Chains A and B, each alone.
Chain A
């Protein structure tokens, strides 16, 4: 094997570190020692399929088109899992010269995957692979073992996959005991044991298929393990009876088993082969150990890579999920498409120009190519809406004496799915600096499913962010969901005070909420804003750095941190933060403009002009950016 991309869904860095420190993951410890590793910013964890489609295409969700795990089907009366036809940008394995085995990547299974049992649980739904066999393994109880033929390509491999699958009943007592070690409830909980068997069977199935492919000379492999995510989700949501006192221990045991499997995979790696291990998504806060205060924050993703050519300082300044694809292409000896927003971590790619610095000047011919290579931005109107009228043919059925049933449940499912997609689109557009369309997408999401929680929270947070107190107050007053989740008290008052920019009132209220877990609200980040608003910049920096690990508002937090650091004259730190914000969202004009300010303050005028020009290109509608570019350029012209 020449290249292995192993994605582990929801592996928390602290959990991993704990296992490595305890000596439970020797293979990964070795990989960390001889390879490069570092934190990796990721888009907001809205949907599994969207996140991994970003890895496979190198583009944000608002461009690659995978916005949620499910989408509205043609006709507008149904919801189905995301399929390959929904991707607006082809994944990299469609563009490589050598075959790539793709296992268990969301959104890659065939058309009938919408019928896969996994759908019913709301977990990551689409599994499958291309150019190599794949398998769908749903939530069915132990005795059921249907395999969706559409999840296996080529179809001729279906029988081989059937043979290689590992049934939960085939999990050995020793393996189960290893997983349940140190979990006191395991002995008496049949549901917990069944759940663990399912998770292990899932993992073992992928391992069996991977090893089989490698034994048959598969040169490149993209593999995603989601047993950890499956276990975590089920522990938390599906069945309260499976809740255990030490979930961290159980998840750690699973990591140790994964390490053994990783060891077996690496045995097949050539001497000059590359391995990239990418961990993204976040573990549910309630499964993490520690005091309540620590639960509010999730770690960013991280990457580990080994193989010739990865630069020693690849991840020193932080990477992002967008960087995975350019790095992967460079490692397999290919040039990345010129417009890709990410940066390669691979040294040779930098040398050959396959990867570019993020703040590129675009006046040259290459710059024009870069922009033309941009996949078009999705507009809310591009998404298929739910049906509004009765289906064609209803009158015929009525004429046959058949009363039409109440189709409201179908309408509700389609509307919720549509709202979920619009929510994902709004988040992605906002992260990439397209605020106006993002607001439009959010308004459409609120319109599609007025009772959905996510869009309502987002609307409230955005109102608070732009300082629109009447809108924030109105949203809480109109929404039962928000009124229930934000009852009268400190937190509600804090949000309203932040929206009113009344920082002295907001600060003590926020401080009282710091140790409490809240839904999609990063109290630490808001405290940082309150302190910065009062001119207490040094304290604001501390609060913002503390809050940075949250999955929510991270881009806005990083940008605010850069601004405050710039205000304090900490130019080196400000540049790191500005670059980090660009890494998180390469399409955001704000990030480039911030970098320009930092560079200008440090006397790097040419670099500042280039960064400002990039900001102008990304948001040509913002005349202020162009004016500032003019200010930066003028002294040069005078010179």
Chain B
């Protein structure tokens, strides 16, 4: 059966999103898509690809791409052709790297990692996933916080609260700044986390004496357990004990709701988080890696 690959216009946007639901995470429509469809039936999609033109990664600045082909139509080089479109488009914009959408573990069984490697994608960052057992972690955290409160006046000035919908505006600002994303997109992610019972019960924030937001820890559910979606301290307060205080407060919330533990993850650019995880007895569960492909730059570079 003959297949055609063509740009996805707005009239087929909803169909492309049906194949690539990850695009719904992206605010508004900052993506450009291509579809592979049956030659005689343009509405019958067998594959789709999209590139989100929002820069990511400081070291390898690039756009984020996503390719999917329905199982029955694989092994016909459709994925390669769709990926080529993404690379060309990224190149046309003068952007040198195309990032794979997800992180993959070395033992990836889906075949996607093999496909990406075959297309020239290189390993970029390491992401570590941890599980922290509440019973093991909480006593250590309590001990450490007690010591901090006794000796560090800065710690005494932190006021920790549950994160509620009323705090959304300032949290969204910090969230958006951290990920270089738009405020509506950040607001949507915060709202999604707070829409869940676990998110509401375990998310916490810290303010200073002046009532300014200094940091927050946003939790979301993962396999019935809380997972840290984002744990961050405003850059102006990073030298203080904020991260630890937030973590301790989170652990107290875990104990309150009877959660046996929590998942969290961090990448290799946040050594402080890794160090905290190890110090308080969190156990590594798995590792994954992000991948990116050098696409070159049209016309000699930016």
Interface on A for B, CB 8 Å cutoff?
73-75, 77-80, 112, 114-117, 119-122, 139-141, 143-149, 158-159, 162, 188, 190-191, 237-241, 387, 390-394, 396-397, 400, 402, 404-407, 409-410, 413
Contacts and interface: CB of A to CB of B under 8 A. Distances in A.
Contacts of A406: 24
B40 interface: no
B10 A117 contact: no
Given A115-B32, A143-B61, A397-B19, A122 B182 contact: yes
A237 B14 CA distance: 30
A410 B173 contact: no
A393 B43 contact: yes
A146 B94 contact: yes
Contact of A393 (B12, B58, B70, B213): B12
Contacts, number: 159
A394 B18 CA distance: 8
A55 B136 CA distance: 67
Contact of A405 (B11, B17, B32, B235): B17
B281 to A, nearest CB: 34
Interface of B: 9-15, 17-19, 21, 24, 27-32, 41, 43-46, 53-55, 58, 61, 63, 70, 72, 92-95, 169-170, 173-174, 176-177, 180-185, 213, 234-236, 299-300, 302
B14 A191 contact: no
B176 A410 contact: no
Contacts of A238: 173, 176, 182-183
Nearest to A392: B43
Given A75-B9, A75-B13, A120-B184, 12 more contacts: A78-B13, A120-B28, A140-B54, A149-B92, A238-B173, A240-B213, A393-B43, A400-B46, A402-B18, A407-B14, A407-B18, A413-B28
Contacts of B13: 73, 75, 77-78, 410
Nearest to B68: A402
B94 A162 contact: yes
A141 B178 CA distance: 11
A629 to B, nearest CB: 49
Given A402-B19, A405-B18, A410-B24, A162 B29 contact: no
B180 A141 contact: yes
A505 B173 CA distance: 42
A407 B10 contact: no
Nearest to B31: A115
B183 A237 contact: yes
Contact of A117 (B19, B43, B54, B302): B54
B302 A162 contact: yes
B185 A120 contact: yes
Contacts of B45: 393, 396-397
A191 B236 CA distance: 11
A116 B93 CA distance: 10
B29 A78 contact: yes
A193 B181 CA distance: 18
Nearest to A147: B94
A390 B18 CA distance: 11
Nearest to A190: B235
A409 B24 contact: yes
A141 B10 contact: no
A405 B68 CA distance: 15
A239 B177 contact: yes
Contacts of A112: 32
Contact of B29 (A147, A158, A396, A413): A413
Given A74-B11, A149-B92, A121 B174 contact: no
A409 B24 CA distance: 7
Contacts of B181: 120
B234 A241 contact: yes
Contact of B180 (A79, A140, A409): A140
Nearest to B184: A122
Given A77-B10, A162-B302, A391-B12, A146 B53 contact: yes
B56 to A, nearest CB: 8
A387 B17 CA distance: 15
Nearest to B28: A119
Contacts of A141: 55, 180
The listed residue with most B CB atoms (<10 A of its CB), out of A79, A144, A188, is: A144
Contacts of A387: 14
27 contacts: A74-B11, A75-B9, A75-B12, A77-B13, A80-B29, A115-B31, A115-B32, A120-B182, A140-B55, A143-B55, A143-B58, A145-B95, A145-B302, A146-B94, A149-B92, A191-B177, A238-B183, A239-B173, A240-B170, A391-B43, A392-B43, A393-B12, A394-B18, A400-B46, A400-B70, A405-B17, A413-B29
A412 B301 CA distance: 39
Given A115-B29, A397-B15, A397-B45, A74 B10 contact: yes
B292 to A, nearest CB: 14
Given A121-B182, A146-B94, A159-B299, A115 B30 contact: yes
A39 to B, nearest CB: 34
A237 B300 CA distance: 37
